[in-house]
């Protein structure tokens, strides 16, 4: 097998980064000439934001298509930008997420609630947990017949390394003020009252989840609890009242047309980043991709990703 020398590797990475820099600079100049968003010369009256992957506060690992998961602050920024635009009459929130952190999910939901105009959520593959939390803030929720919808529940976990610590001869000693300050630490067995305390926090989140969905979807809280955090196919979710309609993206566009009384021209709203930040992200993605590429030449590892609905 023909190998790259280290100097050739560095030359290729440098060339790729320079190419990415030139591309970003060019797009930035065009964006400035087109009122701050690349391609804004086209007419539009409907905004679309996409929530894809795990919902979190901070961005994850870089990829060629973007950073990992959904960064809540970016989504909120996009929704607020759409709300401030004089062109936007309606908002489509496309959801393909297994859920994520509680507060970031609620931040996105609140931004949707505050949007001045019709809001339609569209579930593609998966709209679960935090994704459904967000959808409950929209006026309507659409899904495909085989979409996975629901998982109205909360999960909390802690590692238990007490047995391992004992085998390694590691003892635990900590100084705290307040009975439950170190509740749940992994190096010792959890006490029953600590377990009850931590479970009460999870129960509180769950009660809030049920209340949020009940108000947003106008559903009986007991009906929501009876789902027992299961996910449902779109057809079943429709029968249960978890979604309003089944359809494709074209069906959603037709629905938007009925809501705003004109043919929808949809624009994808994306995070607004400065030139320096975009250059940094671009270079990081290139370096990350090259690192993965060269490593795979020697490890021959698969790039398959396991996805869990939680």
The CATH number linked to 53 is 3.90.226.10
How confident is the model over 169-179, as a mean pLDDT?
81
> Percent of the chain scored above 90 by pLDDT?
55
Do residues 266 and 123 share a domain? yes
Closest CA to 100 of 159, 30, 31, 52: 52
Residue 160's pLDDT is 78
**Position 250 pLDDT exceeds 60:** yes
Residue 4's pLDDT is 45
Do residues 138 and 242 share a domain? yes
Residue 156's pLDDT is 83
Closest CA to 70 of 91, 48, 84, 49: 49
**Position 84 pLDDT exceeds 90:** yes
pLDDT band (50, 70, 90) for residue 101? very high
Residue that terminates a domain, selected from 192, 226, 260:
226
**Position 2 pLDDT exceeds 70:** no
Do residues 188 and 212 share a domain? yes
Do residues 245 and 284 share a domain? no
Do residues 164 and 208 share a domain? yes
pLDDT band (50, 70, 90) for residue 115? very high
Residue that terminates a domain, selected from 226, 252, 285:
226
Tell me how many domains the chain contains.
3
Distance in angstroms (rounded) separating the CA atoms of residues 211 and 251? 30
How confident is the model over 56-60, as a mean pLDDT?
74
- Does 306 map to a domain? no
> How many other CB atoms are found less than 10 A from the CB of residue 176?
10
CB 182 within 8 A of CB 198: no
Do residues 30 and 167 share a domain? no
Residue 299's pLDDT is 31
Do residues 26 and 51 share a domain? no
Choose between 70 and 273: higher pLDDT: 70
Residue 178's pLDDT is 86
Most confident of the ranges 98-112, 157-171, 275-289: 98-112
Distance in angstroms (rounded) separating the CA atoms of residues 225 and 221? 6
List active site positions.
129, 181
**Position 293 pLDDT exceeds 70:** no
Choose between 172 and 25: higher pLDDT: 172
- Does 307 map to a domain? no
Do residues 96 and 206 share a domain? no
pLDDT band (50, 70, 90) for residue 31? very low
Domain span at residue 81? 44-152+232-270
Do residues 9 and 63 share a domain? no
Residue 19's pLDDT is 55
Residue 278's pLDDT is 46
**Position 252 pLDDT exceeds 90:** yes
Helix, coil or strand: residue 89: coil
- Does 54 map to a domain? yes
Residue that terminates a domain, selected from 226, 244, 261:
226
Do residues 115 and 256 share a domain? yes
Distance in angstroms (rounded) separating the CA atoms of residues 46 and 256? 8
- Does 145 map to a domain? yes
**Position 285 pLDDT exceeds 90:** no
- Does 309 map to a domain? no
Do residues 162 and 236 share a domain? no
Do residues 167 and 257 share a domain? no
pLDDT, tens digit, 9 for 90 and up, residues 223-242: 999 999 999 999 999 999 99
pLDDT band (50, 70, 90) for residue 18? low
- Does 80 map to a domain? yes
Closest CA to 214 of 126, 137, 111: 137
Q: Average pLDDT over the chain, rounded to whole? A: 78
- Does 305 map to a domain? no
- Does 84 map to a domain? yes
Choose between 59 and 205: higher pLDDT: 205
């Amino acid at each position: 097998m023909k190998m790259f020398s280290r100097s050739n590797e560095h030359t290729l990475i440098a060339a790729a980064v320079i190419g990415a820099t030139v591309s970003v600079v060019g797009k930035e100049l065009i964006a400035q000439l087109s009122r701050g968003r690349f391609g804004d010369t086209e007419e539009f009256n409907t905004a679309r934001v996409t929530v894809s992957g795990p919902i979190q506060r901070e961005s994850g690992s870089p990829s060629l298509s973007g950073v990992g998961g959904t960064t809540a602050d970016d989504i909120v920024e996009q929704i607020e930008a759409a709300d401030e635009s004089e062109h936007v009459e309606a908002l489509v929130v496309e959801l393909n997420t297994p859920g994520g952190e509680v507060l970031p999910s609620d931040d996105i939901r609140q931004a949707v609630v505050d949007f001045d105009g019709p809001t339609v959520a569209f579930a593609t593959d998966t709209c679960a947990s935090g994704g459904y939390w967000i959808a409950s803030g929209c006026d309507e929720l659409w899904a495909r017949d085989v979409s996975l919808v629901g998982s109205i529940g909360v999960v909390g976990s802690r590692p238990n390394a007490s047995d391992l610590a004992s085998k390694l001869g590691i003892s635990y000693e900590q100084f705290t003020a307040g009975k439950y300050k170190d509740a749940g630490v992994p190096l010792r067995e959890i006490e029953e009252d600590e377990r009850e305390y931590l479970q009460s926090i999870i129960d509180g989140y769950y009660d809030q989840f049920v209340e949020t969905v009940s108000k947003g979807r106008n559903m009986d809280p007991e009906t929501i609890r009876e789902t027992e955090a299961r996910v449902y196919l779109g057809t079943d979710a429709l029968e249960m009242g978890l979604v309003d309609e089944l359809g494709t993206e074209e069906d959603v566009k037709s629905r938007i047309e009925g809501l705003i009384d004109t043919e929808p021209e949809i624009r994808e709203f994306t995070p607004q980043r400065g030139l320096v930040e975009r250059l940094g992200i671009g270079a990081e993605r290139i370096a990350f991709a090259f690192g993965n590429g060269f490593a795979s030449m020697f490890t021959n590892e698969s790039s398959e990703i396991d996805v869990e609905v939680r």
